[in-house]
Amino acid sequence: MFYFDPTYIIILPALIFAMWASARVDSTFKKYERNYSFRGYTGAMAAREILNARGLYDVGIERVNGRLSDHYDPRTNVIRLSEAVYNSTSTAAIGVACHEAGHAMQYAENYFPIKFRALIIPMTNIGSTFGIWLFIIGLIFSFPMICFIGIILFSFTAIFQLATLPTEYNASKRALAAIEESGILNSEEQQGAKKVLSAAALTYVAALAVSLTQLLRLIVLFGGTRRRR
């Protein structure tokens, strides 16, 4: 049966890695959200500081519900910070907030990876929603072409994750450089922000690993059905 076959072993290591990465970012954030900055900047204040230093006065900053739901929305040019980040003066919160400001800097400077990622989002949404289902339908009814189309559509998920990696690492690099340049955190406090961002980056590595191994699994299954024909 499709849902119980040996090819699941292909994605199992990536799934374990993803669970570990998620737990690590949560535990790292919890550790450093208790370390408060000496200068007393909140996450929102820190983001505003480094945006203003780069002339990005038009970028808004809003508070949103949820834990670690922080993101930059290029459509509205707004950074949305979670409750654990917006008003917190912890080194963890400042690191996360400045990371999102890093994304705003990327859009302002037309950083290619983030522009490319935004460009393929429609195909990624289609691929992640319909790719697997098309593959299953093709497999059940022995239509190799439908299986192939499903694989192509799903591959956009892996491409999206691949484009996400340099985008996220670059945003963190920009954030840490801006924090140091502005003096928002001292050298010891910067280590906390760096560790939080490094842990968060692992979740994107894990997401790429999961999507690539899932893609590989589909290809293996597709090859198996063709050999049986």
DSSP letters of 120-155? Answer: HHHHHHHHHHHHHHHHHHHHHTT-HHHHHHHHHHHH
Tell the burial category of 160 from Cβ atoms under 10 Å away from its Cβ (0-12, 13-18, 19+).
Answer: buried
Q: Using CA atoms, how far apart are residues 42 and 169, in angstroms rounded to an integer? A: 23
Cβ atoms 41, 184 nearer than 8 A: yes
- Cross-strand bridge partners of residue 79: 61, 72
Which residue among the candidates 49, 100, 168, 189 is catalytic per the annotation? 100
Give the orientation angle of helix 187-228 with respect to helix 144-182, to 10 degrees: 170
100 is catalytic: yes
Active site residues: 100
